[in-house]
A = this chain, B = another copy of it.
Amino acid sequence: MEKNRIEAFSDGVLAIIITIMVLNLQVPATPDISELKSRAPVFLTYVLSFLYIGIYWNNHHHLIKAARRATAGIMWANLHLLFWLSLLPFATGWMGYHHFQPVPAATYGLVLLLAGTAYFILQAVIIKEQGRDSKLAKAIGRDWKGKLSIICYGVGIAVAFWAPWISP
């Protein structure tokens, strides 16, 4: 398995996820400006999800570049990450249609949490293949931002159930 085919496949899946999310906006039935206003929450969640996919795409590239060669483990860890990201259009649409209500918001947070976890697994698989002394292992040792974001997702999901007015 060459690395560049993993990249090409991931790029394809991420490009389609981003573009399919926009279908949630649904073409309005009337030509009134009120239709745009009613789509504001869906639009906002689309912006949020677009940013997430953009961040994942960016980080993903650096991660795959760091891998020396593609193994079966890396391939499956990568598919695992793409699986959770592929649920983002569903979660985005649900949260957007129901104005950030607790269950859809918690589902959205859960999908992000699982995608974040999958990203960590992919990282761990690449480090294991590379050796603990590699540059990647050292760079990731300092990655408190990533660990923090996982904690934040978890807290966000919990909060979504208890306080819908705080949840993003």
A: which residues have CB within 8 A of B?
1-2, 5, 7-9, 11-20, 22-25, 27-28, 30-33, 35-36, 47, 50, 54, 57-58, 61-62, 72, 75-76, 79, 82-83, 86-87, 89-90, 93-94, 97-98, 101-104, 107
Residue of B nearest to A39 (CB): B90
Chain A, interface SS category? helix
CB <8 Å contact, B32 and A103: yes
Assuming the contacts A5-B61, A22-B90, A58-B72, asked whether A98 and B12 have C-beta atoms less than 8 A apart, the reply is: no
| Complex CA distance for A17 and B8, rounded to whole angstroms | 15
Q: How many copies does the complex hold?
A: 4
CB <8 Å contact, A9 and B5: no
CB <8 Å contact, A9 and B20: no
15 A-B pairs whose Cβ atoms sit less than 8 Å apart in the complex: A2-B61, A5-B7, A9-B11, A9-B14, A9-B15, A15-B16, A20-B22, A22-B87, A23-B89, A27-B93, A31-B98, A31-B102, A32-B103, A33-B103, A35-B103
